Structure 1
Amino acid sequence: MMQQIALAHMPPELAVYATVFTNVDNAAFLKERLLAGDTAFEYALLDAATVISRKQVLAATFRALNDYLNDRLKSRNVHSEIVFALSPNNNIGEAFGRFGVQEHTKNIIVLKVATNPSITLDSVRAHLTSSIKGEERPFEDAVVQQCTDLARIRKIYKLNAGAASKRETTTNGDAQGGNGVEIARLERQILGFMALRGAT
């Protein structure tokens, strides 16, 4: 179910591999490997509850790749930069705490950038399936939005609930149960906050 994604205006050899794991049982282990700087676990591991759409993740990935190609990374590698690029502010530690995998994370969006030729779809798939204890799902809006926690996202980005229904504001992990128009509105606001970070 892992996908290879080619982002527009990026070198074709800089492929991005993406997938989703749900009902993950070993998030604490994954976070420990990241904190230890284990290069085998050099991935962007996102808490899917803090993501509203595939477009949001790809926008963060594009920004991180652009910074990587232009030697402007503010974090230690392109994968941590993807996590940071989701943030509405310039606090890197806060970004990792909000968007990165935590001990209690159950649903994870995984991204791997092919920064060298040895990183292939097959090598990434083999490593992830042997390392993550969870159910692999496709990186699609329908899957992502089953994991979305709208109340948490509104709090992170300081967004008004607007015309959202009571069910939507109280449901964790079911953005699909909410109003599609509201989801699209929130996505636009979030992308705006991400784009403006560091511009002022």
Structure 2
Amino acid sequence: MSYDPYICNLDPETKTSLKVYLFNNVENVDQIRSNIMNGTWKCAAIKPSLILDLFQIAVAANKAVLAEKSQAMITRTVYAEILFNLSLSKNISQSLSKFGVETDRSLLVCFLITADSDESETILEQIKGELLQISDLKQFTNIQEVKSIYKLTNVKSDVSLLNLIITKIVTKSFIAH
């Protein structure tokens, strides 16, 4: 069964789009993680439990491609930069382990697509798991964990929670949260 991904155009200067798929019951998480870490796969695997809304990923990805374009990345790859941008931590290892997939059997797979490059189909064929509708993301989100990671435990509304998370992602380099 085929489901449409979440697709979002990023900053026009980068000529890049973000494409995100949601998987559950993934059997080859170790292989996926290894392929991403050694650079064989050009994608990011994110824990869906920490994502309140896909806009979070879009903002982090946009920051990553802009940093890559201006040669100002903190991490070694644009995909690691996405994970780094999702986190409030300025520690790269903490950011990657917090948001990256380690043993989770559910994951969001993110690709950066340009006119010259779209490796998503080749990689998707190798993921041994159940592809879900992207709209099913809410079932995986752990609101308490999201609030804890972003230090927003007193926020009541999910709408203002998303706004605060996005603000923290965008201002990470300027403010110590």
The answer, yes or no, to whether TM exceeds 0.5 is: yes
Question: In structure 2, what is the Cα distance between the partners aligned to 1:47 and 1:7?
Answer: 21
Runs of at least 5 residues in structure 1 that lack an aligned partner in the other structure: 164-181
Correspondence for 2:9 among 1, 6, 10: 6
Question: Which letter does structure 2 place at the counterpart of 1:60?
Answer: A
Q: Which runs of 5+ in 2 are unaligned?
A: none
Instruction: Name the structure 2 match of 1:16.
Output: 18
How far is the alpha carbon of 1:99 from its aligned partner? 0.5
* Counterpart Cα distance in 2 of 1:67 and 1:86: 14
Match of 2:148 among 130, 149, 155: 155
Kept after mapping to 2: 8 A contact 1:2/1:125 = no
How far is the alpha carbon of 1:95 from its aligned partner? 0.6
From 129, 132, 141, the counterpart of 2:127: 132
Q: Is the 8 A contact 2:50 2:141 kept in 1?
A: yes
Q: In structure 1, what residue type is equivalent to 2:112? A: V
Alignment of 1:64-75 (within 5 A): 64-75=64-75
User: Which secondary structure state, in structure 2, belongs to the residue aligned with residue 40 of structure 1?
Assistant: coil
State the 1:29 CA deviation. 2.2
Letter of the 2:60 counterpart: A
Q: Report which of the two structures shows the higher radius of gyration computed on alpha carbons.
A: 1
Q: Percent identity?
A: 21
Question: Size of the alignment, in residue pairs?
Answer: 172
Secondary structure at 2:10 match in 1: coil
Is the CA contact (8 Å cut-off) linking 2:14 and 2:66 kept in structure 1? Answer: no
Residue 59 of structure 1: aligned partner = 59
Cα RMSD for the two superposed structures:
1.9
TM-score, structure 2 length as denominator?
0.87
Identify the residue that residue 102 of structure 1 maps to in structure 2: 102
The TM-score, its normalising length taken from structure 1, stands at 0.78
Name the CA shift for 1:20/1:65 in 2 (closer, same or farther; >3 Å).
same
